[in-house]
């Protein structure tokens, strides 16, 4: 049965001025997702809940048909409170229904070398799925590169627009060092730290990705038109907003979650106490992404945000590309080479001797901050009870350690097994 149910039937209330017939493209998931990117603002909880309850196609059918009180909403989405929220949301989305045609958006972007990317596509960045309900319905991508593979091994370098010469110098050094090591540099294309990071990566022939808070067919800031055009020509520029969308403060804040989620690790290079970069750091911490911050002079207001991230979010202090690379290796589960002195002491490499489910769980454990069992299970692709059994064995061998607890239960991280740790 259509998500609109029996048109005009008893119990159905429709918003005036909304035409029930849906265009043919609305039945295809790719175009339904693309339509949602224009209908609802990033972070719209009602839109996310509706898509989660019905799927993007049936959810769009509700919007295009204007059905408010039909029986098509399951579970919690069908409660009176949820219906009231949906009624308000339909009013909010209605001005964007007229003329809605994601195929036209896609055609316009295709002329600039762009496309729409949806979950399930090879180009979709797999880490975005960690956002759950906050995951965008689609991405608009412009450029010669393939987004997913480019960000598979990447670092987000973020910071203040009003940066100092010190901050820009450090950003450039980090970006160049990472790019030379084959790590993609992700940032937001803005003035200051973002621009310094992008330019340095390009200068050494490395990969860089710009995540925008507007349509990828627009250059924002306008002064960066040449920079963004070069990034698109050689790599990719990406946004969750459809072509033509203007940047807004809200969209900038929501864009930061994409930067945090898509990257292997996040580093705050220079930021004031209330810098927008701190929202990226907060998102990264919530997603259990390895988080780093560059220290600055204690008398410098432009580094106060970095010191805040170090203190409040337990970020790792980083000063060069090699230290940032350790965060990337921790995120990917790669084994950091053991220094000669440590190897001679007889200590074992982090995952040496493990196999099967124990190896998968140990590989999924964060190196520094503890993660709840549910998060480890998701990363390992195993059931929670299997993960718990593995953690018991790994804790005995020293490969895992419990470092606290929160409302979800114990928090676990990777241990440092000594020479007597038994092989498994």
**How far is the C-alpha of 285 from the C-alpha of 366, rounded, in Å?**
12
Looking from the CA of 100 toward its CB, the CA atoms found within 13 Å total 27
- For residues 277 and 291, give the distance between their C-alpha atoms in angstroms, rounded to a whole number: 12
Question: Phi and psi (nearest 5°) for 225?
Answer: -60, -45
Phi, psi of 115 (to 5 degrees): -160, 165
Tokens of 134: 């906050």
Q: Is 8 exposed, middle or buried (0-12, 13-18, 19+ CB in 10 A)?
A: exposed
For 11, other C-beta atoms within 10 Å of its C-beta total 10
CA distance 224 to 293: 26
Q: SS3 string of 43-98?
A: CCHHHHHHHHHHCHHHHHHHHHHCECCCCCCCHHHHCHHHHHHHHHHHHHHHHHCC
How far is 10 from 266, CA to CA, in rounded Å?
53
Instruction: Return the ∠ at Cα 270 (arms to 267 and 275), rounded to 5°.
Output: 95
Phi, psi (rounded to 5 degrees) for 358: -60, -40
155 phi and psi, to 5 degrees? Answer: -130, 130
What contacts 36, CB < 8 A, 6 or more positions away? Answer: 47, 51, 56, 59, 60, 137, 138
- What distance in Å separates the CA atoms of residue 139 and residue 129, rounded to the nearest whole number? 13
Bridge-based pairing of strands 291-293 and 154-159 is unpaired
**pLDDT, tens only, 310-354:** 999 999 999 999 999 999 987 665 433 333 333 333 333 456 678
Pair 45, 82: CB distance under 8 Å:
no
Distance in angstroms (rounded) separating the CA atoms of residues 367 and 362: 10
Task: Quote the CA–CA distance of 286 and 293 in Å, as a whole number.
Answer: 16
pLDDT at residue number 105: 95
Sign of CA dihedral 129, 133, 135, 136: positive
d(CA 239, CA 245): 10
Residue 366 three-state SS:
coil
Per the structure block, which two tokens stand in for 136? 């965008």
Residue 284 class from Cβ within 10 Å (0-12 exposed, 13-18 middle, 19+ buried)? buried
DSSP symbols for 107-144: HHHHTTTEEEE-TTSTTS-GGGGGGGGGS-S-EEEEES
> What pLDDT is recorded for position 226?
96
Q: Which residues of the chain have pLDDT under 50?
A: 1-20, 71, 334-349, 419-424
């Amino acid at each position: 049965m259509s998500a609109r149910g029996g048109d005009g039937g008893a119990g159905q209330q429709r918003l005036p001025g909304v035409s029930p017939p849906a265009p043919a493209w609305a039945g295809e998931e790719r175009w339904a997702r693309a339509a949602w990117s224009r209908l609802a603002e990033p972070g719209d909880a009602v839109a996310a809940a509706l898509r989660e309850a019905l799927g993007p196609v049936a959810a769009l059918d509700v919007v295009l048909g204007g059905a408010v009180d039909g029986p098509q909403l399951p579970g919690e989405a069908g409660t009176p409170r949820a219906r009231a929220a949906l009624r308000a949301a339909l009013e909010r989305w209605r001005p964007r229904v007229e003329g809605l045609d994601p195929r036209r958006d896609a055609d316009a972007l295709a002329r600039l070398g762009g496309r729409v990317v949806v979950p399930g596509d090879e180009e979709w960045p797999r880490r975005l799925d960690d956002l759950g309900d906050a995951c965008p319905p689609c991405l608009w991508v412009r450029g010669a590169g393939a987004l997913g593979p480019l960000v598979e091994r990447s670092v987000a370098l973020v910071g203040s627009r009003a940066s100092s010469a010190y901050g820009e110098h450090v950003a450039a050094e980090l970006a160049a060092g990472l790019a030379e090591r084959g790590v993609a540099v992700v940032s937001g294309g803005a003035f200051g730290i973002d621009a310094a990071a992008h330019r340095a990566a390009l200068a050494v022939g490395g990969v860089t990705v710009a995540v925008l808070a507007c349509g990828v067919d627009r250059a924002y800031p306008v002064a960066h038109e040449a920079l963004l055009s070069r990034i698109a020509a050689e790599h990719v520029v990406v946004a969750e907003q459809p072509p033509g969308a203007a940047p807004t403060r809200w969209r900038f804040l929501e864009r930061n979650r994409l930067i945090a989620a898509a990257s292997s690790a996040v580093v705050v290079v220079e930021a004031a106490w209330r810098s927008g970069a701190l929202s990226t750091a907060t998102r990264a911490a919530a997603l259990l992404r390895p988080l780093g911050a560059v220290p600055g002079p204690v008398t410098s207001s432009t580094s106060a945000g970095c010191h805040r991230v170090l203190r409040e979010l337990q970020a790792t202090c980083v000063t060069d590309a090699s230290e940032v690379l350790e965060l990337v290796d921790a995120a990917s589960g790669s084994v950091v080479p053991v220094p000669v002195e440590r190897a001679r002491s007889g200590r074992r490499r982090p995952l040496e001797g493990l196999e099967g489910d124990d190896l998968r769980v140990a590989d999924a454990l964060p190196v520094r901050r503890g993660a709840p069992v549910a998060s480890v299970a998701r990363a390992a692709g195993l059931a929670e009870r299997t993960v718990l059994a593995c953690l018991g064995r790994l804790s005995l061998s020293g490969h895992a350690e419990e470092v606290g607890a929160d409302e979800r239960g114990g928090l676990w991280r990777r241990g440092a097994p000594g020479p007597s740790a038994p092989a498994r």
